[in-house]
Structure 1
């Protein structure tokens, strides 16, 4: 992947102590060839994390690379099913699907393996189930391997987990986003919990004024004099966009001029369900006034997605992330960083970001979501207090320097153990 350059010294302003720790942790990793493998270069939180992470690792002196796999489309149909099963869906992966997943993983893995061994890679990090087998089964034993799972593993389908278990066990370290995402059969010392984080210097997180935000949104029919709520998330059943629409309908019975924007551009090639989900959302929103839905980049009329996201988060009075399952949910921290009151599903990674009633709100139902929308829209002073607290929470816990440090420390530990075992 070709990435824009980033300079880590620009992040010193956010936490000087963390800055120095990152510099120290990176010193032993100078010129180490680090390879990240995932399934898409845009769309979704994993790609967003890697865009900043890999660029900053390079700036710190690591020889970091990012490779995206390109298997047939049918492969992603199966890996999306695996993703859903690991997030608790009640279904099954049949023998044909298992064999296809194994076969195509081996083919892509063999091709990648030749290159990685030729390049004398020092460390490989595989992100999520799509490239799981590719990143674990073909490399020489000397190459340490890390599996980074970004999804919600609160209640994984046990049959699918049993199928993947022997491949997961090959990794030297498994990184998850919450302590309770750890598989019970993995030893404690083999698992590391690292909470994701946002890049405060990414385009979508740079500060703009309300006037600048509304100058963009007004072009698309969003009305400044009406209260605005939004959810910015890909159209996926786990993000519950239809539940958001139902909560909006209920809240609108009390706030007649309330408007809702749903933004989730279809960008990820590894999500074959996205178009069907969009159609379901459009059907659910039909004939309901004051809902705007953006799912195609052509709808943005040439405005970059990040700029549109930034404008929408800046202008929204309340931001929702009503997920039913969530590995982390970067959009929560993005909104909190902009000083917004966020209503999030009481699940997975959202619970790490929001302390209910203090710097945001956690909800378990459509009714509760609607009630909280009404409360916040009707009390500007209260939502501004929540927003200020939210911004402080993100500043202390969920910015990129902390995420970099956590990862660099794992790299150092894994490389040290591997070197000791082979010397």
Structure 2
């Protein structure tokens, strides 16, 4: 059996007055013909990255609309996740190639997961598969009569051919694929129905709920941040594509001009990312002896509330990615009205259009200049943050992402109609989403 992640219950009605009302209204109408359908989202880890954060908020909203939806996890040993990390990097353009042994490890684990999938998944109407780790399962489970969707969250615009040639033949079994941007669609993709849907944040999650400023400052003092001093933060996985060493170099260029400036590097160490431990040790070595640089992880109790406080209180947040699928932390930060210095990579520019949210950069030098500029001009920084908040509300909140998904499911159900099913008992009351409710 595949492990099921318990996500609790949520109500779309609680987004009224926060997310655009027209999106909430459309969700009610889209869900009418889908009520009773069974859905599954399949991923590799319940914590530690953007996919898990999205699913923890998204799955309860599916259920609230009457689609019986589960979130399940594939199994794998350390060797398997080392291989999937190499595939992840290779699909983003990293050099190298998979050995025959690594291919065998990946496929052997996939076969085991396909067997587990068959034993408990025969009645699903829709199966979303997230990212490369479980991507081959549609091809290995041909007798499951579901509509399969591959959701690729990473930048696969220029994949290493060795990795792409290995993975792509297994993708023919999908009915549809979702990418964040058109530029991310890899060459010779064997899936005909391709949708372009950016991810979204949950404004009502613990990470994004509004924190009273005194509480936010108390939280940061508790983890060693001195809130009377200026603060620059990067929140991300410990991943070389996020360029944390480049952030440190940019910070070191700014420090002589702002002598008491602090830098916080906050990240999660996830079970499907063994490379994260190596990067974490590199950061510890690179910052040893500097008491104004704070390396913070989930292993020392830094979770959603602490990240919320960091994004809320920081003077500037940096996301200097070299490759980036979307970068949820950019929208999270802008939702709190804090300006962002972002790498000109992947989905970051769509979150930081000209004059909104912050500044886009390409180099360590540009990053340092933008940080110093915003630190010296707090009024301009505040205005950028306000515009960023409005931009996120319009484009990057969870109900909009749910709407995109339901549009795709309705289309797939029109191409191949769903079998008759009894209505799933749910607490959803359509009147709650009516305009003015």
TM-score normalised to structure 2 length: 0.92
Aligned match of 1:285 in 279, 284, 287? 287
What is the CA–CA distance in structure 2 between the aligned matches of 1:19 and 1:189, rounded to whole Å?
29
In structure 2, the residue matched to 1:5 is 9
Instruction: Give the deviation of 1:142 after TM superposition.
Output: 3.0
Aligned match of 2:222 in 204, 216, 219? 219
In structure 1, the residue matched to 2:161 is 158
Segment of structure 1 superposing worse, 183-192 or 251-260: 183-192
In structure 2, the residue matched to 1:88 is 93
Whether contact under 8 Å (2:138, 2:173) holds in the other structure is no
In structure 2, the residue matched to 1:272 is 274
Segment of structure 1 superposing worse, 137-146 or 404-413: 137-146
In structure 2, the residue matched to 1:381 is 379
In structure 2, the residue matched to 1:415 is 413
In structure 1, the residue matched to 2:74 is 69
1:23-422 maps to which residues of 2 (within 5 A)?
A: 23-117=28-122, 120-140=123-143, 142-186=145-189, 189-266=192-269, 268-297=270-299, 299-300=300-301, 305-419=303-417
Instruction: Give the deviation of 1:295 after TM superposition.
Output: 2.1
What is the CA–CA distance in structure 1 between the aligned matches of 2:68 and 2:187, rounded to whole Å?
34
Instruction: Give the deviation of 1:189 after TM superposition.
Output: 5.0
What is the CA–CA distance in structure 1 between the aligned matches of 2:139 and 2:61, rounded to whole Å?
25
Whether contact under 8 Å (1:154, 1:348) holds in the other structure is no
Residue 14 of structure 2 aligns to a residue whose secondary structure is helix
Residue 140 of structure 2 aligns to a residue whose secondary structure is coil
What is the CA–CA distance in structure 2 between the aligned matches of 1:166 and 1:121, rounded to whole Å?
24
Whether contact under 8 Å (1:125, 1:135) holds in the other structure is no
Instruction: Give the deviation of 1:333 after TM superposition.
Output: 0.1
RMSD: 1.6
Instruction: Give the deviation of 1:222 after TM superposition.
Output: 1.3
Instruction: Give the deviation of 1:47 after TM superposition.
Output: 0.4
Q: Can you list the C-alpha shifts for 1:109-146, whole angstroms capped at 9, x where unaligned? A: 112112212xx111111000001112442142632111
Instruction: Give the deviation of 1:186 after TM superposition.
Output: 3.4
What is the CA–CA distance in structure 1 between the aligned matches of 2:144 and 2:65, rounded to whole Å?
27
What is the CA–CA distance in structure 1 between the aligned matches of 2:29 and 2:310, rounded to whole Å?
38
Whether contact under 8 Å (2:49, 2:268) holds in the other structure is no
Gaps of 5+ in 2: 419-437
Instruction: Give the deviation of 1:284 after TM superposition.
Output: 1.1
What is the CA–CA distance in structure 2 between the aligned matches of 1:381 and 1:9, rounded to whole Å?
35
Whether contact under 8 Å (1:235, 1:277) holds in the other structure is yes
Whether contact under 8 Å (1:278, 1:295) holds in the other structure is no
1:14-25 maps to which residues of 2 (within 5 A)?
A: 14-25=19-30
Instruction: Give the deviation of 1:43 after TM superposition.
Output: 0.8
What is the CA–CA distance in structure 2 between the aligned matches of 1:274 and 1:236, rounded to whole Å?
6
Segment of structure 1 superposing worse, 242-251 or 158-167: 158-167
Whether contact under 8 Å (1:231, 1:320) holds in the other structure is yes
The verdict on how the C-alpha distance between 1:31 and 1:182 changes in structure 2, with shifts beyond 3 A counting, is same
TM-score normalised to structure 1 length: 0.95
Gaps of 5+ in 1: none
What is the CA–CA distance in structure 1 between the aligned matches of 2:101 and 2:28, rounded to whole Å?
48
Whether contact under 8 Å (2:180, 2:326) holds in the other structure is yes
What is the CA–CA distance in structure 2 between the aligned matches of 1:141 and 1:312, rounded to whole Å?
45
Q: Can you list the C-alpha shifts for 1:149-179, whole angstroms capped at 9, x where unaligned? A: 0111122111211111111121110111111
Residue 339 of structure 1 aligns to a residue whose secondary structure is coil
In structure 1, the residue matched to 2:429 is none
